[in-house]
Structure 1
Amino acid sequence: MHLVSLVCLATLVGFSREASPPSQLYDPLVAQKLLTSAQSVPNNPIQYPQYTSRDNGQWQYFPADYWTTGFLPAACYALYTRFNSLCPNSTAANQFLELGRGLSTGEVPLEAHTTVGHDVGFLSFPFVDEVAIDKSNQTAVTAVNTFATLLADRFNAIVGCTRSWDTSDPTDFQVIIDNMMNLQVLFDSEALTGNTTLRDIAMSHADKTMQNHVRPDGSSYHVVEYNSTTGDVIRRRTAQGYADNSTWTRGQAWGVYGFANMYRNTQQTRYLDTARQMASYYISQVPSDGIVPWDFNAPLDPPRPADSSAAMIATVGLLMLSQQEASLSPSNTSGAQYWSDAAIKLLSDNTAFAWKPEWQSLLSNGTVNNPASPPNNLTGIIYGDHYFIEAGNQLISMGLANCSNSSSTSPAPSSPPTTQHTSGASRTHRLWW
């Protein structure tokens, strides 16, 4: 999309450049809550939080063999990064590094057996973080390479994609938009091994997703089913959205992030263009109050639930897109500012809405799976919290926020907090959008 179109779009949707990063990003409660969550995971066997209860915000725990397992240790690594280099505090940095390492060990058995299929990319997150810190850590290197191999083994050259969900019919080859997020582990393993076939698989999958998941207006289908023997598209549908032709907002966010990340790894302009297109659609569909619903096309009656996790994922994708515009030669400074302004507004609106000091999660009002029976919504979600922390890190790295309101001046607590913080929580927490 040309820059002039982006400017027009900003006018059409009432976009404001006045939003500033929410103070809650750097509230001491972020570190305190994450520390408590990390120290409270059940052991023997270890279990990991995925989402909270709807009534009191208590984490619900699941076995390690689940796609969300890597997010808690990855969030610990993200706070290590914050306290190690962005807002220096050596005591807090060391504490979160050790927590991230300790929680990651529960994933190691998944290298030998896991049922998460394509989601091994999500499992790899904390090991990738560890390799960035210590390239000599062979346990982490092996984990990254093993998870990449497991994903590559799901590739079908006729379809041109890695299989997402397994089915009883081997010819029914299902691919979901979420799988764009798992491609990163292929690039990470290529960097470690020099195996360029992994890059080829990632690009093939992205090209097919661009061709068959992304609609002409930049919206997306959740699921595309292929015939594994011919490569033909059988059906386009949804599993977690409102309807087959609607746009599930978390899936759209995965697409924005995924294609921006593909450009970061390949410098292929088609991926940048697709990320811009999907991001433009996303921004154009956000309601006037800024709160992201579970599905952009779901009816307003009955009220549709919000999804703070979709907003956080999209925020980080938009910030990545902003950095890529700035890195172009010549730099697209107007485009970079447009995307970062949009990200900050999205982050600010949805944080004010979902910040829940009394809950164990950082944010509330996430939707895990609204079509489920019963619907799984109105919760805190571990991946929403992870991308909330990541957004705070990215804003500091980009020079768009500072540590003045962060907990960098005092060590992270060694025990759960005894008081509840309420800073920045003056807005009423609505249950539905």
Structure 2
Amino acid sequence: MSGSYCIYPFLRRAGLCFILCSFAAFVFAQDLLSADKEIKYCAAQSGRTLKQIPVNMTDNIPRTISANSNQWKLVGYSDWCSGFWPGLLWYLYEGTHDRQWKIEADRFTRELTPLVNHSGFDHDLGFQVFNSFGNGYRLTHDSGYKKTILQAADSLASLFNPRVGTILSWPPMVKKMGWPHNTIIDNMINLELLFWASKNGGSHKLYDVAVSHAETTMHNHFRPDYSAYHVVVYDTVTGKKIKGITHQGYADNSMWARGQSWAIYGFTMCYRETRRADFLDFAQKVADRYLKDLPADLIPYWDFDAPDIPDAPRDASAAAITASALMELSTFVRDKIKAKSYRQKAEQMLKSLSSSAYQSRSTNSAFLLHSTGHQPNKTEVNASIIYADYYYLEALIRLEKLKKRKSLYHEL
């Protein structure tokens, strides 16, 4: 503590400033979140979940637990959330070094292999394949995983419209909703699959598609205050933006919490993959917009403009995604004060999520309570949802690495 400022000059003269400041630092250190403890909590909860999954059942992947239940709703490999459970298991293997998690992660990952047998059916291939096979390959270098990832990247890229400059997110919505070419903010996360593939044996065109999508999204998907639209609809012939709307938010002009968290995470990742200063600058702008109006516990309401705040449902999943994103963003920002602020906010979010107010504990075998999937549709509201658990654990793994001064991409 030498050189530190002491508000009591007489204590400095008495040689007691060091003691006082050291004690304050000790108290602060004791108050920090224990990532290792919370990772062990996640492992215990996942062990309970495994016991709930029936043997020899096709739909055996946990997705959600409703507020009035303690049982997981299980889905099949084609569900958009199918990659989060095996990805979560890979993170448990990374965080605990327990080989049993590797065995389970491999089992559930391989169930998703049929996803690459169909070309360009949905943008969610990134969520499905990169979270599962991607984490698996990072930790094992299994050549079979790599082959699947490369196939998935080619399939995802087939949805790219060069006139528009983005990937078509929801093909069924073209006819169902009359959205000629629709792109949702969630799609930013799936670009990581393309970036990785372009650098690991895939075509360089995959990199170009990812960059084009990010650039076009940056220019068309945000309002002047840097809040994100959920959906942008484009003209397929001219490539021009038609309108910005919502599908899961409160209103077309409102800030849907999880959508903004996808933006923070996505543009942070795009900077990591491209080192383009404009992506880093934009990641900070969308992050600052999100941080500006959070409740005291830093867990957002499902939509920042919901009319029934403070009685509106919260969204723990948005907080988990943002906490993980801010962990990474803090390592890129050159302004040390701002970088420290992002890291502190991330830790504070994790502390809130790790409290009795948000952890599931004995309520059910998920990690977290109080996530909101689709409030306008009245589905998965105030629920436990698998992607909230995935990003919560990812954020804890990242925090543990940062505390040990390791790269966020340090392998076993």
TM-score where L is the length of structure 1: 0.81
Residues 174 and 181, structure 2, Cα contact 8 Å, conserved in 1: no
Q: Residues 66-87 of structure 1, C-alpha deviation per residue, up to 9 Å, x if partnerless?
A: 1110111111110111123xxx
Q: Which residue of 1 aligns with 2:43?
A: 31
Residues 57 and 379, structure 1, Cα contact 8 Å, conserved in 2: no
Q: Which residue of 2 aligns with 1:396?
A: 400
Q: Which residue of 2 aligns with 1:348?
A: 351
Residues 40 and 96, structure 2, Cα contact 8 Å, conserved in 1: no
Q: Residues 261-295 of structure 1, C-alpha deviation per residue, up to 9 Å, x if partnerless?
A: 00000000111011100110111110234331100
Shift, 1:28, TM fit = 3.5
The structure with more radius of gyration: 2
Moved more, 156-165 or 50-59: 50-59
Residues 401/249 of structure 1: CA separation in 2 closer, same or farther (3 Å cut): farther
Which aligned pairs between 1:87-106 and structure 2 lie closer than 5 A? 92=98, 94-106=99-111
Shift, 1:194, TM fit = 4.8
Letter in 1 for 2:45: K
Letter in 1 for 2:288: S
Letter in 2 for 1:394: R
Q: Does 1:154 align with 2:162?
A: no
Residues 168/161 of structure 1: CA separation in 2 closer, same or farther (3 Å cut): closer
Q: Which residue of 2 aligns with 1:144?
A: 149
Q: Which residue of 2 aligns with 1:379?
A: 383
Q: Does 1:132 align with 2:138?
A: yes
Instruction: Give distance in 2, aligned partners of 1:58 and 1:116.
Output: 30
The partner residue of 1:286 within 275, 294, 302 is 294
Letter in 2 for 1:113: H
Q: Which residue of 2 aligns with 1:320?
A: 328
Q: Which residue of 2 aligns with 1:47?
A: 60
Please provide the CA RMSD for this pair: 2.2
The partner residue of 2:88 within 72, 75, 82 is 75
Instruction: Give distance in 1, aligned partners of 2:282 and 2:124.
Output: 23
Residues 148 and 186, structure 1, Cα contact 8 Å, conserved in 2: yes
Q: Which residue of 2 aligns with 1:409?
A: none
Residues 94 and 139, structure 2, Cα contact 8 Å, conserved in 1: no
The partner residue of 1:20 within 14, 20, 32 is 32
Instruction: Give distance in 2, aligned partners of 1:114 and 1:52.
Output: 31
Which aligned pairs between 1:52-67 and structure 2 lie closer than 5 A? 52-67=65-80
Q: Residues 296-315 of structure 1, C-alpha deviation per residue, up to 9 Å, x if partnerless?
A: 01112682100100100000
Moved more, 313-322 or 352-361: 352-361
Letter in 2 for 1:76: L
Shift, 1:20, TM fit = 2.9
Residues 58/25 of structure 1: CA separation in 2 closer, same or farther (3 Å cut): farther
Instruction: Give distance in 1, aligned partners of 2:251 and 2:34.
Output: 33
Residues 380/171 of structure 1: CA separation in 2 closer, same or farther (3 Å cut): closer
Shift, 1:21, TM fit = 2.2
The partner residue of 1:300 within 285, 298, 308 is 308
Residues 46 and 106, structure 1, Cα contact 8 Å, conserved in 2: no
Shift, 1:401, TM fit = 10
Instruction: Give distance in 1, aligned partners of 2:396 and 2:296.
Output: 24
The partner residue of 2:262 within 243, 248, 254 is 254
Shift, 1:376, TM fit = 2.6
Shift, 1:35, TM fit = 2.4
User: Secondary structure at 1:73's aligned position in 2?
Assistant: helix
Q: Residues 342-381 of structure 1, C-alpha deviation per residue, up to 9 Å, x if partnerless?
A: 1111222233221121111110001011000x34311101
Letter in 2 for 1:228: T
Residues 120 and 156, structure 2, Cα contact 8 Å, conserved in 1: no
Instruction: Give distance in 2, aligned partners of 1:269 and 1:302.
Output: 37
What is the percentage of aligned positions where both structures have the same residue? 32
Residues 213/171 of structure 1: CA separation in 2 closer, same or farther (3 Å cut): closer
Shift, 1:34, TM fit = 1.1
User: Secondary structure at 1:294's aligned position in 2?
Assistant: coil
Structure 1 unaligned regions, length at least 5: 1-16, 85-91, 326-330, 403-433
Instruction: Give distance in 1, aligned partners of 2:369 and 2:48.
Output: 17
Letter in 2 for 1:155: F
Instruction: Give distance in 1, aligned partners of 2:41 and 2:214.
Output: 38
Q: Does 1:363 align with 2:368?
A: yes
Residues 22 and 351, structure 1, Cα contact 8 Å, conserved in 2: no
Residues 130/350 of structure 1: CA separation in 2 closer, same or farther (3 Å cut): closer
Structure 2 unaligned regions, length at least 5: 1-27, 407-412
Letter in 1 for 2:395: A
Residues 50 and 59, structure 1, Cα contact 8 Å, conserved in 2: yes
TM-score where L is the length of structure 2: 0.85
User: Secondary structure at 2:81's aligned position in 1?
Assistant: coil
User: Secondary structure at 1:148's aligned position in 2?
Assistant: helix
Instruction: Give distance in 2, aligned partners of 1:217 and 1:132.
Output: 37
